[in-house]
Amino acid sequence: MHGLLNYILWLPILGSLLILLIPKEKVNAIRWFTVAVTTVTFILCCILYVNFDQAVPGIQPFTAVSMPWIKSFNIYYKLGIDGISLPMVWINGLLFLICSFSSFDIKKMHKGYFSLLLMLQGSIFGVFMSLDFFLFYVFWEVMLLPMFFLIGIWGGDNREYAAIKFFLYTFFGSVLMLLAIIALYFAAEGRLGAETFDMVKLMGGHFADLKLSLFGMDLPFDKVFFAMLFVGFAIKVPIFPFHTWLPHAHVQAPTAVSVILAGVLLKMGTYGFLRISYPIFPQAGHYFGDFIAWLGLVNIIYGALCAMAQTDVKKLIAYSSVSHMGFVMLGIAAMTTEGMNGAVLQMFNHGLSTAMMFLLIGILYERSHHRWIVTPEGKKGFGGLYAQMPKYSIIFIIGLFASLGLPGLSGFISEALVFIGVFKPYPTIALLGLIGLVLGAAYLLWMFKRMFFGEIIDSCKEYADVNKREMFYMAPLCFLVIFLGIYPLPILDVMKTSVGKLVIDLAKFAP
């Protein structure tokens, strides 16, 4: 089992290079090669899951990979996963498998597309597996490159703007992160005896009482760098007011990329909070707790309000992601067992449900070539799809209700856990957060009503129902959404020990 993470990490990247050897004309070979690579990767992820030992709170020993990379800087190629990263790794494997099927619809430059897709997968794996800060940063940034091109080349009409905005935003945040990483490295010498980029060693609130002189002010070290990391991660989450890249990126990106963006990429931000910000700066985490909780609340309500305004389905779902990620932030900010577990579970569940929604919209877009609920001319963009595409509608309902948090579907448990966790420290926020649930139901159902009910409008009469391939890749998601709604243990069990440890560690530093 040793080195399993190596295989998972490098297989897609290797695949992305190998694809370049396939002649450009052999489109099917390229597609199926991608499918093969993602399938093998997914199987490896499953093996990882099977071998996971729930009792171990920290990094799973069997996954640990560590070798020196840059000796003079103490940079290590260090991988490992724990209960927080495993669900993310797994869903990454799953969503890319699904996306490689969904991407059969891509119309141009197949080779580049699939190559970049695999590279994206590899780099995201890297983010979730890295235990070395430098390595983490490298993967965090590398992920931008394929994403940038995937949006920029295969995206919609306004793709350049979206791609650049996406890149700039993230890059801005990550520059601040880099600063924090290096500063931590040097601070570690005083506190830990040696300079290090090792996340695990840095954890534990060693940097609380350091001072830092910036712009001529004497500032607390940990709070400043917590804030810097916060911006870096908040942009990825995205947290209001750093969220405006998201609607653009989502709307312009091709379906599969939207799926990845919403399903996995956004989680990198919250993962960063759980893996880096909070464990390393627990005191600052407590200090900023109220602030982040309120921001989470703003995210929820604000995202929902914005979603309601949209006439573009994809934009609507994009804003719903903003809203849903707010729940994750809320859960994290609560710093209670329930809240944290809920947050991690919500990361996973939102990955499933929002991926479903984006795939469904992609399927629809294949047929309609537009995404307007109400077209800019004020006409109905869709109408009566329920009658026209019954199977599609059923899947849509599942996705829809999963994302509005219907009990029995996956979203509910995580949201409930988050609220349970949040209530204790922030009852007011919990109460106000409920508005988000109402609004969430409102915009989703309103969208559903406008698109699916009523008579079939003329332009919708041609649309075929979902075909076998689409059914094939939607089915696992439907199954998971329902299954995890009833029986969330497969995910909760693997994460709970790690999350519990995190919560206990954090609690030690409560003021």
CA distance 236 to 170: 7
Helix, strand, coil shares of the chain as percentages rounded to 5?
A: 75, 5, 20
Q: Which of 27, 64, 153, 210 binds other proteins (CB under 8 A)?
A: 153
Helix (H) or strand (E) holding 75: strand 75-79
**In Å, how far from its chain's centre is CA 327?**
13
**Residue 211 contacts other proteins per CB under 8 A:** no
Instruction: Please name the residue that has the structure tokens 């090792």.
Output: 198
Q: Please tell me whether residue 175 binds other proteins under the rule CB under 8 A.
A: yes
CB of 181 within 8 A of CB of 137?
Answer: yes
DSSP 275: I
Closest CA to 267 of 136, 87, 46: 87
Task: Tell whether residue 471 is a contact of other proteins (CB under 8 A).
Answer: no
- Determine, following the binding rule CB under 8 A, whether residue 386 of this chain makes contact with other proteins: yes
To other proteins, the closest distance from the beta carbon of 93 in angstroms equals 22
Question: Counting contacts by CB under 8 A, is residue 420 touching other proteins?
Answer: yes
Part of the chain binding other proteins (CB under 8 A), chosen from 33-41, 44-52, 151-159, 277-285: 151-159
327 sits near other proteins (criterion: CB under 8 A)? no
Q: Which residue has the tokens 């069990």?
A: 493
Q: Which stretch, 39-47, 89-97, 166-174, 281-289, contacts other proteins (CB under 8 A)?
A: 166-174
- Calpha distance 50→203 (Å, rounded): 28
| CB-nearer residue toward other proteins: 58 or 384 | 384
What minimum distance in Å lies between the beta carbon of 155 and other proteins? 9
Residue 219 to residues 82, 192, 216, 388, Cα–Cα distance (Å): 34, 21, 9, 62
Q: Which is nearer to other proteins, 312 or 470 (CB)?
A: 312
In a 3-state reduction of DSSP, which class is residue 65? strand
Nearer to other proteins among residue 201 and residue 501 (C-beta): 501
Residue owning tokens 């991608």: 34
Smallest gap, in angstroms, from Cβ of residue 424 to other proteins?
A: 6
- Residues 230-249 within binding reach of other proteins (CB under 8 A): 240-241, 243-245
Tell whether residue 407 is a contact of other proteins (CB under 8 A): yes
Q: Which one of residues 88, 437, 478, 480 is an interface residue with other proteins (CB under 8 A)?
A: 437
- How many residues form the binding site for other proteins (CB under 8 A)? 95
Q: Which of 22, 56, 212, 298 binds other proteins (CB under 8 A)?
A: 212
Q: Does 185 help bind other proteins (rule: CB under 8 A)? A: yes
* DSSP strand pairing (211-214 vs 217-220): antiparallel
Whichever of 40 and 442 has its CB closer to other proteins, that residue is: 442
Amino acid found at 462: E
Distances 30 to 7, 100, 109 between C-alpha atoms, Å:
21, 10, 11
User: Would you say 363 or 494 has its CB closer to other proteins?
Assistant: 494
Distinct helix (H) and strand (E) counts, the chain? 23, 4
Residue 94 exposure: Cα atoms within 13 Å on the Cβ side: 26
Residue 168 as a binder of other proteins (CB under 8 A): the answer is: yes
Neighbours of 380 (CB within 10 A): 18
What's the min distance (Å) between Cβ of 71 and other proteins? Answer: 6
DSSP 8-class letter at 264? I
Report if residue 455 touches other proteins, rule: CB under 8 A. Answer: yes
- Per DSSP, 456 falls in state P
497 binds other proteins (CB under 8 A): yes
Of the pair 43, 438, the CB lying nearest other proteins is at: 438
> Could you say whether residue 167 binds other proteins (CB under 8 A)?
yes
Name which of 223 and 263 has its Cβ closer to other proteins.
Answer: 223
416 sits near other proteins (criterion: CB under 8 A): yes
**Smallest gap from residue 39 Cβ to other proteins (A):** 26
Return the amino acid letter for 323.
S
Element (H, E) at 66: strand 65-70
Examine residue 483 and tell whether it contacts other proteins (CB under 8 A). Answer: no
The yes or no reply on residue 412 touching other proteins (CB under 8 A) is yes
Phi-psi bin for 239: left (phi > 0), alpha (psi -120 to 50), beta? beta
**Footprint on residues 56-75 left by other proteins (CB under 8 A):** 68-73
Spell out where 392-465 has E strands: none
Stretch that binds other proteins, among 33-41, 92-100, 198-206, 336-344 (CB under 8 A): 336-344
171 scored as a contact of other proteins (CB under 8 A): yes
Give min distance, CB of 180 to other proteins, in A. Answer: 10
Comparing CB distances to other proteins, the nearer of 263 and 341 is 341
Q: Which lies closer to other proteins via its Cβ, residue 47 or residue 153? A: 153
| 401: contact with other proteins by CB under 8 A | yes
The region of 2-10, 59-67, 177-185, 255-263 touching other proteins under the rule CB under 8 A is: 177-185
Question: What tokens does 30 get?
Answer: 């390229």
Residue with smaller CB distance to other proteins, 40 or 138 = 138
HEC readout, 144-168: HHHHHHHHHHHCCCCHHHHHHHHHH
